[in-house]
Amino acid sequence: MSLTPSGDRTPRQVLALADDLSGAAETAAALRLPARIVLGPAAPRSPGAGRALVVDLDTRQRDADQAARIVREAVRGAGPGTVLLKKTDSLLRGNLAAETTAYADGAAGLVIAPALPAAGRTVHDGIVHLRGQPLHDTDAWRAETRPAPRSVAAALDGTPTAVVPLTAVRAPLPELTGRLRALVEAGLTPVCDTESDGDLDAIAAAALALGPGVRLMGTGGLAAALGRLSPGTDGPSPAPAPGGALPLLVVVGTAEPGAVAQIAQLTAAGARHVALSAELLAGAAEPVPLTTGPDDAITVVSVEGSRGIRPGSARRVVAGLARTVAAVPYPADLVLTGGETARRVLDALGVTELLPVGEVHHGAVHSRTADGRSVVTRPGSYGDSGSLLRIARALRPYQPLVPPHVPAAGPPAQVPAPRAEFTAPYPPPPESPVPQGEAL
């Protein structure tokens, strides 16, 4: 199976659109094609045969009308024969309804597969489940201003949909293709139930068989299914080199509760931690001075929000954090958690494009900038308690990341030693140079 039409050995090109930066990087990792990540919104250029262009449209926090306009303009830039993929949030956040309507404009049809089995996010009867529990019964939307939708159809708010049950997804490929075709021709948007990566593989193959006029929409799981269907991506590539001798700055801009444990493991292993007041970041017009220097090999910068963050101030907090990081007077490699934080930091540094080179763990994507620094982006809700430590060890395998002193009551097992090597290296990046230059 491949992304090429029957009898045509020319690899297809893929244009993927994401609404935030960590999602764009996750998609680039999943596609496993030579890829570029563009920090848009910008008119997409042709990826080239056998390549992928992933655009961060930066629409997650925009109003719905503006987000829809940006999506329409991005789709117009797709060349003939391009496989189009709209990356969606696996928890259905963002301007999903408005962007879906805009993305479907001019298409022969749309196939949606919003599951991400690798993160415990499945779809049953058209309802997203998080580790077996319906999304609307979890607290996954605790940072949102409205309740979680009760189904994918409710999240799409007006798009005519039809659930494709697991029995249909797991039928022989011609039957699934025929079912999708019948729904599309009836003016309905198929929403596919999914429990496994194998289900996503079947959905991707059937959707591609419908022809280039039908567009795909889903999470990084669907992007990975496309990658598995792509010719020449099954064999391993040489592991990317770790980061250089620059200091490593870990910027934690997520409100996820798990971030506290992640920071604790990294600081216990020897990293320095600087917690900045949310009120100070939100109210400061100038960067907040960081009490750290180039001799601090690994520094974690986070938002101190023990008293909570005032409603409506989250974007100002992120903007203040980005200004502060960009004002650090020495170059540093970066680990950026939370899509909004990652985008605002790179905007402040003038970074407009990334070349992905590897993945530390699912969603934690290692990229290079034009000036050669390493950047790892990761959605705020991803990763276990050892995520940041694992990323730091991957970028700094020569750094002694172990606690200098282990108290008698605290055995070494409290700070696990996750694998440091990259788990999903990419093919070599495109030869063209990179132009210079979830979250709170």
SS (HEC) of the chain = CCCCCCCCCCCCCEEEEECCHHHHHHHHHHHCCCEEEEECCCCCCCCCCCCEEEEECCCCCCCHHHHHHHHHHHHHCCCCCCEEEEECCCCCCCCHHHHHHHHHCCCCEEEEECCEHHHCEEEECCEEEECCEEHHHCCCCCCCCCCCCCCHHHHHCCCCEEEECHHHHCCCHHHHHHHHHHHHHCCCEEEECECCHHHHHHHHHHHHHCCCCEEEEECHHHHHHHHHHCCCCCCCCCCCCCCCCCCEEEEECCCCCHHHHHHHHHHHCCCEEEEEEHHHHHHCCCCCCCCCCCCCCEEEEEEECCCCCCCCCHHHHHHHHHHHHHCCCCCCEEEEECHHHHHHHHHHHCCCEEEEEEEEECCEEEEECCCCCEEEEECCCCCCCCHHHHHHHHHCCCCCCCCCCCCCCCCHHHCCCCCCCCCCCCCCCCCCCCCCCCCC
pLDDT at 7: 40
pLDDT at 293: 66
End-to-end CA distance of the chain: 41
Q: Which of 9-23, 169-183, 321-335, 394-408 has the highest mean pLDDT?
A: 169-183
CATH among 3.40.980.20, 3.40.50.620, 3.30.300.30, 3.40.1410.10 for 248-414: 3.40.980.20
pLDDT at 310: 56
pLDDT at residue 318 greater than cutoff 50: yes
pLDDT at 421: 33
Q: Edge-to-edge, what's the strand order for the sheet holding 127-130?
A: 121-124, 127-130, 133-134
Minimum mean pLDDT range among 1-10, 34-43, 305-314:
1-10
Q: How far is CA 8 from CA 2, 81, 425, in A?
A: 10, 12, 27
pLDDT at 308: 53
Q: What is the pLDDT of residues 364-376, one digit of tens each?
A: 999 999 989 999 9
pLDDT at residue 427 greater than cutoff 60: no
Q: How many other C-beta atoms are found inside a 10 Å radius of the C-beta of residue 402?
A: 12
CA distance 62 to 278: 22
Q: What is the pLDDT of residues 47-87, one digit of tens each?
A: 777 789 999 999 998 999 999 999 999 998 788 889 999 99
In the chain, ranges of CATH 3.40.50.10840 domains = 14-229
What are the residues facing 18 on neighbouring strands?
Answer: 56
Per residue in 155-192, is it b (16+ CB within 10 Å) or e — as a string? bbeebebbbbebebbebeeeebbbbbbebbeeebbbbb
CA distance 25 to 335: 13
> What's the average model confidence in pLDDT over 385-403?
85
pLDDT confidence band for 160 (50 / 70 / 90): very high
pLDDT at residue 15 greater than cutoff 70: yes
Dihedral, CA of residue 149, residue 105, residue 218 and residue 80, to nearest 10: 180
pLDDT at 194: 98
> Tokens 């949030």 identify what position?
89
pLDDT at residue 115 greater than cutoff 70: yes
Q: How far is CA 57 from CA 19, 88, 263, 339, 340, in A?
A: 5, 12, 29, 12, 12
pLDDT confidence band for 289 (50 / 70 / 90): confident
Closest among 344, 353, 322 to 437, alpha carbons compared: 353
Q: Domain 14-229, what architecture?
A: 3-Layer(aba) Sandwich (3.40)
Say whether the peptide bond before residue 41 is cis (omega within 30 degrees of 0).
yes
> What's the average model confidence in pLDDT over 386-410?
73
**What sign results for the dihedral spanned by CA atoms 107, 49, 51, 354?**
negative
pLDDT at residue 327 greater than cutoff 80: yes
In the chain, ranges of CATH 3.40.980.20 domains = 248-414
